[in-house]
Amino acid sequence: MSQLPKPNAGILDIAPYVGGKSKAAPGVKVVKLSSNESPLGPSPKALAAFTESAKYLHRYPDGNSQKLREAISQVHKLPVEQIICGAGSDELIQFLVSAYAGVGDEVLYPEHGFLMYKIYAQSRGATPVTAPEKNLTTDVDALLAAVTERTKIVFVANPNNPTGSYISSSEMARLQKGLPPHVILAIDGAYAEFPEHADYSDGHELVASTENTIMLRTFSKIYGLGGMRIGWAYAPANIIDVLNRVRGPFNVSGAAIETGAAAMLDTEFTAAAIAHNTKWLAWLSAELSALGLTAYPSAGNFLLVGFPSGKAKNASAFLMERGLIVREVANYGLPDCLRITIGLEEDNKAVVATLKDFLAS
Ligand SMILES: Cc1ncc(COP(=O)(O)O)c(C=O)c1O
C-alpha cells in the first residue's frame, strides 16, 4: 500500500485551472487578449496610490480592508458592514464554498460556468453539478430543475464567462424565488460594469431584499488590476459573518487596499474604460460577423467567436504566431469557439486583419 500522504476526497479529481496564455514565439510582440484584462490598464490615480503604498511594505495591512470597503460603499451606495474584500473574487468564491459546502453537498451552476466553481467544489469534496443552458445562456428553469436537497450554492456569473450572455434582473429574481431559502444564490458580477442593457442588474437589490443572495465583484476586469488580486462581495449580514470567520486575518495586502480604493473612487476613468469597451465590442462583433464568423452577443469585455467545425484551434495557433493571444475554450465545452478580449484599437484591428488572412489561408 502506498505510504504517500493522501489528500482529501475529491482533490485528485481536480483538473488544475489553466490561465490565459501570455507568451508567443521569441521576438514576436505580444498582445494578450486571453484573460479579459482591461486594455487601458489601471487608473493613473490607482498607480499613484500603489507607488505611495510602497512606503508601508513593512506594515501588516488593515485586516478589515476598511478604506477599500468605504470606497466601495461610497461609490456603490451599499452599507459598508455588508461588504467583504478578498484576494480576488476567486478567494471569495473559495470562502463561500468552504463555509457552506462539504462532502455529499452539491454546488450548482450553468453548463458553461466559470471553472473555479467546479474546482473549489471539488476541493471541499462537494459535487459540482451543471444545468444545461439555452442558446449559450443561463436557463433558470434548468437550474431550478437541477436543485436537490443536497444543493448548497447556485453560482450564476452574470454576464457569464466565457459565453458573454446575461440574464435579466427579473429572470435572476425568478431564480432566487424558486430556490429553497437555505440555498445560496451567488451572483458573480466579474463583468457587471459592462452591460448597458436596460433589463440588466448586478443583483444588489436581490441581496438587499433576501437573506440568501450574495453578489461577487472584482477589480481584475474594468479596473485593470488583475495583478493586485482584489475582489469584493455584498451580502446579507448572516453571510458576511460566516465569510469573515473563514477569512485569513490579512487576506488583502496594504498595497491592494490603497490601490483598489483609489481605482474605485476614480469613477471618471471607469466610465472611460466602459465607453472604450462599448465602442470596440460593437466594432469587433460587426467586423468578425462580416468575415462569416459567429460573434455571439456579449455583455462583457470579450467576445465568444464561433468558427467552422474543427477550425478554432488552428485559428488560435495562427493568431498566436502573430503575437495575438486569445483563449481556447474547449475546456468549457466549446471546442469550436475562441474567446477574444476587447483590446486597444490597434489590437482589435490586428485581430480582424489576422483572422481575415487565416480564413483566406
Ligand atoms: C466569471 C468570473 N468570476 C470570477 C473571476 C475571478 O476573478 P478574480 O479572482 O481575478 O477577481 C473571473 C476571472 O476571470 C471570472 O471570469
* CA of residue 89 to ligand 1 center, whole Å: 6
* CA of residue 323 to ligand 1 center, whole Å: 24
Q: State whether the beta carbon of 316 lies less than 6 angstroms from ligand 1.
A: no
Same domain, 106 and 131: yes
Q: State whether the beta carbon of 88 lies less than 6 angstroms from ligand 1.
A: yes
Of 234, 265, 296, the last residue of a domain is 265
- CB 85 within 8 Å of CB 68: yes
Pocket test for ligand 1, best of 93, 161, 298 (most atoms within 8 A of CB): 161
Q: What is the pLDDT of residue 167?
A: 98
Q: What is the pLDDT of residue 1?
A: 56
The pair phi, psi for residue 230, each rounded to 5°, is -135, 125
Ligand 1: atom nearest CA of 90 is 9
Q: Identify the CA nearest to 69 among candidates 219, 226, 268.
A: 219
CA distance 116 to 308: 28
* CA of residue 88 to ligand 1 center, whole Å: 7
Ligand 1: atom nearest CA of 218 is 11
Domain assignment present for 2: no
* CA of residue 3 to ligand 1 center, whole Å: 37
Domain assignment present for 199: yes
Domain assignment present for 287: yes
Q: State whether the beta carbon of 123 lies less than 6 angstroms from ligand 1.
A: no
Segments of the chain scoring below 50 in pLDDT: none
Ligand 1: atom nearest CA of 114 is 1
Domain assignment present for 3: no
Q: What is the pLDDT of residue 299?
A: 98
Q: State whether the beta carbon of 161 lies less than 6 angstroms from ligand 1.
A: yes
End-to-end, the C-alpha distance of the chain in Å comes to 56
Of 210, 231, 265, the last residue of a domain is 265
Ligand 1: atom nearest CA of 113 is 1
Query: Residue 296: which domain range?
Result: 18-41+268-360
Q: State whether the beta carbon of 90 lies less than 6 angstroms from ligand 1.
A: yes
Q: State whether the beta carbon of 119 lies less than 6 angstroms from ligand 1.
A: no
Q: At what angle do helices 254-265 and 267-290 cross, to 10 degrees?
A: 80
Q: State whether the beta carbon of 157 lies less than 6 angstroms from ligand 1.
A: yes
Same domain, 154 and 221: yes
Strand partners, 137: 134
SS3 36: coil
* CA of residue 109 to ligand 1 center, whole Å: 15
Same domain, 194 and 91: yes
Cell of 265: 473612487
Q: What is the pLDDT of residue 203?
A: 98
Q: What is the pLDDT of residue 245?
A: 96
Chain mean pLDDT for the chain: 96
* CA of residue 182 to ligand 1 center, whole Å: 25
Cell of 236: 446579507
What's the one-letter identity of residue 137?
T
Q: What is the pLDDT of residue 352?
A: 98
Same domain, 272 and 246: no
- CB 166 within 8 Å of CB 188: no
Quote the strand ranges of the chain, DSSP E. 31-32, 83-86, 106-110, 127-131, 151-157, 184-188, 213-218, 231-234, 294-295, 302-306, 324-325, 327-328, 337-341
Same domain, 234 and 345: no
What's the one-letter identity of residue 288?
L
Q: What is the pLDDT of residue 302?
A: 98
Q: State whether the beta carbon of 37 lies less than 6 angstroms from ligand 1.
A: no
Of 233, 265, 297, the last residue of a domain is 265
Same domain, 150 and 278: no
Domain assignment present for 12: no
Query: Which residue's C-alpha cell is 480582424?
Result: 352
Residue nearest to atom 13 of ligand 1 (CA): 190
Domain assignment present for 189: yes
Same domain, 110 and 67: yes
CA distance 197 to 320: 33
* CB proximity list for 178: less than 8 A, separation 6 or greater: 140, 144, 147
Residue nearest to atom 2 of ligand 1 (CA): 190
Same domain, 221 and 330: no
Q: State whether the beta carbon of 89 lies less than 6 angstroms from ligand 1.
A: yes
* CA of residue 60 to ligand 1 center, whole Å: 26
Q: At what angle do helices 237-246 and 88-100 cross, to 10 degrees?
A: 100
- CB 172 within 8 Å of CB 139: no
Chain-centroid distance of CA 311 in Å reads: 26
Interior CA angle at 248 toward 246 and 249, to 5°?
A: 120
Q: What is the pLDDT of residue 81?
A: 98
Q: What is the pLDDT of residue 15?
A: 82
* CA of residue 222 to ligand 1 center, whole Å: 12
Residue nearest to atom 16 of ligand 1 (CA): 161
